[in-house]
Structure 1
Amino acid sequence: MDRIEQFAIPAGAAGAVTDVGAVIERMRAFRSDWPPEDGVAVFNQVYLTVTEAVGRHIADGAFTDQEAVSALDVRFAEHYLAAVDTAVSGDRPPECWRPLFQYRRHPGVRPLQFALAGINAHIGHDLALAVVDTCRTLDCSPPDLKEEFDRVGDLLVLLEEQIREDLMPGPDLLQVADPLIHLAGAWSLERAREASWSAARMLWQLRGVPPLAEEFRARMDAGAGLVGRFLLTPCR
């Protein structure tokens, strides 16, 4: 059996995927459905690249706790997949995702902006929820996931550098004063990841007080949505 699929995860609320292989299959299906210039398709390709890399690391035994990494990856992906399903059905996805879906065909927004806006939504809102979801799935607490959280995060940072290099226009097309330079430099994956870990710990502490936990989540969602709108400011 492929080691990417050997850690089947009990279906969560979305019930869409149960292992990393299934996540990859759904993202590849999205890639086939959307034109490559579509803003959501740009982010989907970025996320697919990241997920495939995580899958390879799981298969290679690179993670100390492969079950925890698989569970975290699946729970994390469920939030993105649910946002897509919600938008496709005509309903309103979480606030953090709305800017990307609203601007996905805007001719003045560049591919790097779409990628960063999607990463911002996913890290700035979904990751903290995924940590809590994973803790419930595996009957553990956030500190038990910290090592694998950090190792996956280190991989994301390396891939983000490659993504910026691949999607940033060449020097012949990009002037020093181009707004894209300032937008791309103003957002940090590392800082977003640190904030997400703190938010996950807070949500875990608030799990016994659902109204406060939901208020905290909603504010986190709104904040990520606001940042996403700034990242998608038309630059041409």
Structure 2
Amino acid sequence: MAQLEHLSTPVDAVVSRMRALDTDLPARDGVAVFNRVYLTVTEEIDRRPGTGRFRDPGAASTLDALFAERYLSAVDAVADGRRPPACWRPLFQFRRHPGVRPLQFALAGVNAHIGHDLALAVVDACRTWDCEPAELEGEFDRVGDLLTALEERVREDLMPGPDLLRIADPLTHLLGAWSLERARDATWAAARALWALRRLPDLTREFTDRLDAAVGFAGRMMLTPLPD
């Protein structure tokens, strides 16, 4: 495995991009809702004194950047009039729908970013560092710190209060249908499968396309307009 400290990729550029988006996008825009939560959590974890997200700073910087750049590439694609990956299309299609609640936008973004982007970022990192996924499992697990904080922030900032979140509210059932832990497990399995298929380009392309479509389908369900 390569010496990671010599392959560090700074996250400053992606954080700067997310800050710019936070400034430029209307607050109620669905992409802005996800971006705001993602940016806040990233900045908070980076500020934690003496800990950091990973034991190896090279792994932290490179995997973070590869991960975030997948999301930012989707933003760029839409801005340029191109189609983003299928996993991101529902969020961009419904970003201004008045019947979709902010919590739904945020969860759909988390779903796309974890279910699709993270698996591909792990494969990208393996190519960068010339290593097997097993050698990055510790780094992958530590990404869970960011993901857990992201989900917690989504629920703290955007979930209605207990007096408003009634058992009959469809949002209650939507929240219960998605699990961060299950999404992380599926992502790790997908990353390992993609790495095993890397010398079979046709199968790799088919697997990636199906993963993208499946995550996009789940995101579309998350963004079903709900009654007030």
Report if TM-score (shorter chain) is over 0.5: yes
Shift of 1:228: 0.3
Task: Name whichever of 172-181 and 71-80 sits farther off.
Answer: 172-181
**Structure 1 unmatched ranges of 5 or more:** 1-5, 10-18
> What is the aligned residue count?
222
Alignment of 1:41-80 (within 5 A): 41-56=32-47, 60-61=51-52, 63-80=54-71
Shift of 1:157: 1.5
Task: Name whichever of 22-31 and 172-181 sits farther off.
Answer: 172-181
Q: Is the 8 A contact 1:58 1:66 kept in 2?
A: no
Deviations for 1:192-222, whole angstroms, at most 9, x for unmatched residues?
Answer: 1110000000000111111111100000000
Q: Is the 8 A contact 1:125 1:224 kept in 2?
A: yes
Shift of 1:57: 5.2
Q: 1:52 to 1:214 in 2, by over 3 A?
A: same
Q: 1:83 to 1:209 in 2, by over 3 A?
A: same
Q: 1:103 to 1:150 in 2, by over 3 A?
A: same
Letter in 1 for 2:24: D
Q: 1:82 to 1:155 in 2, by over 3 A?
A: closer
Q: Is the 8 A contact 1:57 1:63 kept in 2?
A: no
Corresponding residue of 1:123? 114
Q: Residue 151 in 1 paired to residue 133 in 2?
A: no
Deviations for 1:98-151, whole angstroms, at most 9, x for unmatched residues?
Answer: 000000000010011000000101111111000000111112111111112112
Task: Name whichever of 69-78 and 46-55 sits farther off.
Answer: 46-55
Identity across matched positions, percent? 66
Give distance in 1, aligned partners of 2:50 and 2:11. Answer: 11
Give distance in 1, aligned partners of 2:86 and 2:60. Answer: 27
Could you state the TM-score of these two structures normalised by the residue count of structure 2? 0.92
Q: What is the RMSD of the two structures over their aligned residues, measured on CA atoms?
A: 1.8
Could you state the TM-score of these two structures normalised by the residue count of structure 1? 0.89
